[in-house]
Chain A
Amino acid sequence: MNASLNFIGLEISVIGLGLVLMLADFFVPAERRRFIGYAGIAALGVLLIMSFSGNGTCSNFGFGFNNAFVNDGLSLFFKRFFIVAAILVLFIAAEFSDKLAAGSIAEYYSLIIFALAGMLFAASSNDFVMLFVAIELITVTFYVLVSFQRSKVASLEAGVKYLILGALSSSFMVFGIALIWGTTGTLNFTELAAVAPQFETSRIFLLGVLLVLVGLGFKIAAFPFQIWAPDVYQGAPTPTTAFLAIGSKAAGFVLLLRVLFTAVPSVTLHWEKLLIVISAITILYGNLCALPQRNLKRLFGYSSISHAGYLLLGVAALNANGQAAILYYLAGYLFTVLAGFLVIALVLRHLETDDVSGLAGLSQRSPLLAATMTISMVSLAGIPPLAGFFGKFLLLKSVIEAAQKSHHYGYIYLVFIALAGVVISLYYYFNVVRAIYWSKEARDLSPIALSAPAKLTAWVCIAGIFWLGLFPNTVLNLANQAATVFVAVTK
């Protein structure tokens, strides 16, 4: 038991940091609480550097807690990913603090850190109990984060919608776990992989796996469990939306990969059709519904549904390249989406609406923010040489490989649907760019004053998008190494 504690040093430090930030609330006067966030960022920065220098507990590979917790290449990749995401979200939150109830910002920071702890546990879970507890830690924290602007009806309403649908999806998942455990007698992913082939014909077992996938499909906002995404994205405070779009989605994907390719690889093999259909419908639904959107945060909600669809391409491909492509795509998506939400948080916080027209004249008000938003949109649309292009290229390549190997027509249709989705998405992404540079509705042309941390965040996001697009090798090697933890699925 004590040996197991060596594996979760990182998680314990993060939870400790959350408690410290919460307690700091008592000792710091209300007008200075905004700066508590920078202390949190510094602490997370130290943990991130430790994970790269090999001193952190997350680089200590092995199993702990009766094999329920695992540190391997995949968990290491995702832990770095989540820490980077949390750091950037804390920067955005610090800029957004004046829109939250006076003095409550320290609480907001600590909730972000607690959600991060849940994501770190999710990255390492190798057991259905760990999966359940990690997902609930993330979800329950997000109920509070989404409804944090208690004075705004939209924020409360988004919180209640997320609460009802989130609780619904967790009860599906718990029932699925009960059925899986009842038929196989094990909750551990590694043990389950050994016995799963015997239960391939058991309907109760298959229903259990399906119900667990319902719960995970809700987290990643895949069709038909995407219904909450636009409303919650629109109503939640902008930093919460940013963390929801990247952290919560990535946590869903790491758990989906673990369940599909570590726990029940033999079942996944027979479900390629299901995965192809879900991926195709998610891409089309997200892109088509985004077309008429004028509300910027709602547009990001639909765009995030379509990106869940693109990421599912890599799952449906059922090969190691597809899994590595998912990790790479998520890394690019991190900088791209956070760049977008940084601009939304900085520009639209003074306006009543979240409408696209609020960006009018931004090219004159703040050239840096205009460039950040444009690069983010171009990368989301998948134009070379940015991160979004290379990620989509890798995902499509893995699907084409799968098509060549299995001669399954579904894969060919899937490639065409994904390409059609990209073409449709050009329209609404470029609508945003047009509002920034060529809109004539601009009334307010006063320059936007940017704080030094905000400028730094914008430059980090831009640098990340270009770096991943132009020099993909470093991250691609890490992603390939991480994907080796999965058992090769072959027919």
Chain B
Amino acid sequence: MHIGIQHYLAVSMILFCLGLLGVIMRRNLLVIYMSLELMLNAANLALVAFSRFNNKLDGQVLVFFIITVAAAEVAVGLALIVALYRKRQSAHVEDLTSMKL
């Protein structure tokens, strides 16, 4: 079987939807954060596949930017989640209720 761009695109869309499902369904902040990274990597996969099949390198360059930015985001994000955990002794979204109407 010849593997074409549509196969890669299908895999990346499935990964993206799995990540989105994880963000919506899971209740632990760390798992939600991992699902978000999965969504970003789905986009990376799509970019690299398009890059390979279009014979252009712009997409791969963009992937480097995305990986770098995601690393910065994770550094800040994990620090924040840890700070919240130390304050509340919990990393569950049900406990994020100090602000209501």
Interfacial residues of chain A within 393-452, with CB under 8 A of chain B in the complex:
none
Kindly provide the distance from the CB of A112 to the nearest chain B CB, expressed in whole angstroms. Answer: 16
From A133, A163, A177, B80 is in contact (CB under 8 Å) with A163
Interface mask (A115-148 → B, CB under 8 Å = 1, otherwise 0): 0000000000000110011001000100110010
- The reply on A182 being an interface residue by CB < 8 A is yes
- The reply on A187 being an interface residue by CB < 8 A is yes
Interface mask (A139-180 → B, CB under 8 Å = 1, otherwise 0): 010011001001001101111110110011011101101110
Interfacial residues of chain A within 182-234, with CB under 8 A of chain B in the complex:
182, 185-187, 230-231, 234
Residues of B within 8 A of A252 (CB): none
From A140, A153, A159, A230, B73 is in contact (CB under 8 Å) with A140
Residues of B within 8 A of A464 (CB): none
From B23, B59, B72, A168 is in contact (CB under 8 Å) with B23
Residues of A within 8 A of B83 (CB): 147, 150, 156
Kindly provide the distance from the CB of A32 to the nearest chain B CB, expressed in whole angstroms. Answer: 27
B76 and A140 contact, CB distance less than 8 A: yes
Q: Given contacts A129-B61, A185-B56, are A164 and B76 in contact (CB under 8 A)?
A: no
Interface mask (B75-101 → A, CB under 8 Å = 1, otherwise 0): 011001101100110000000101101
Interface mask (B1-27 → A, CB under 8 Å = 1, otherwise 0): 000010001001000100100010000
A150 to B86 CA separation, bound complex (whole angstroms):
11
- The reply on A292 being an interface residue by CB < 8 A is yes
Residues of B within 8 A of A161 (CB): 96
Kindly provide the distance from the CB of A324 to the nearest chain B CB, expressed in whole angstroms. Answer: 33
From A168, A185, A231, B36 is in contact (CB under 8 Å) with A168
A132 to B72 CA separation, bound complex (whole angstroms):
14
- The reply on A63 being an interface residue by CB < 8 A is no
Residues of B within 8 A of A292 (CB): 101
A174 and B40 contact, CB distance less than 8 A: yes
Kindly provide the distance from the CB of B5 to the nearest chain A CB, expressed in whole angstroms. Answer: 8
B62 and A136 contact, CB distance less than 8 A: no
Say what secondary structure dominates the interface of chain B.
helix
Kindly provide the distance from the CB of A355 to the nearest chain B CB, expressed in whole angstroms. Answer: 13
Residues of B within 8 A of A157 (CB): 84, 96, 98-99
Residues of B within 8 A of A179 (CB): 46
Q: Given contacts A132-B69, A133-B65, A175-B42, are A181 and B58 in contact (CB under 8 A)?
A: yes
Count B interface residues, CB 8 Å: 42
Residues of A within 8 A of B19 (CB): 171
- The reply on A235 being an interface residue by CB < 8 A is yes
Kindly provide the distance from the CB of A192 to the nearest chain B CB, expressed in whole angstroms. Answer: 12
Residues of A within 8 A of B59 (CB): 178, 181-182
Residues of B within 8 A of A129 (CB): 61-62, 65
A174 to B38 CA separation, bound complex (whole angstroms):
12
A160 to B73 CA separation, bound complex (whole angstroms):
12
B43 and A167 contact, CB distance less than 8 A: no
A234 to B49 CA separation, bound complex (whole angstroms):
43
Residues of B within 8 A of A175 (CB): 16, 39, 42-43, 46
Kindly provide the distance from the CB of B86 to the nearest chain A CB, expressed in whole angstroms. Answer: 9
Residues of A within 8 A of B62 (CB): 128-129, 132, 177-178, 181, 187
Can you name 4 extra interface pairs (CB under 8 A) apart from A156-B80, A156-B84?
A: A147-B83, A164-B29, A175-B42, A182-B54
Task: Name 25 interchain pairs, CB-CB below 8 A, sorted by A.
Answer: A132-B62, A136-B69, A136-B72, A143-B73, A150-B83, A156-B84, A156-B87, A157-B84, A159-B80, A159-B84, A161-B96, A163-B81, A164-B32, A168-B23, A168-B36, A171-B39, A171-B42, A174-B43, A181-B62, A182-B9, A182-B50, A182-B59, A186-B58, A187-B58, A231-B99
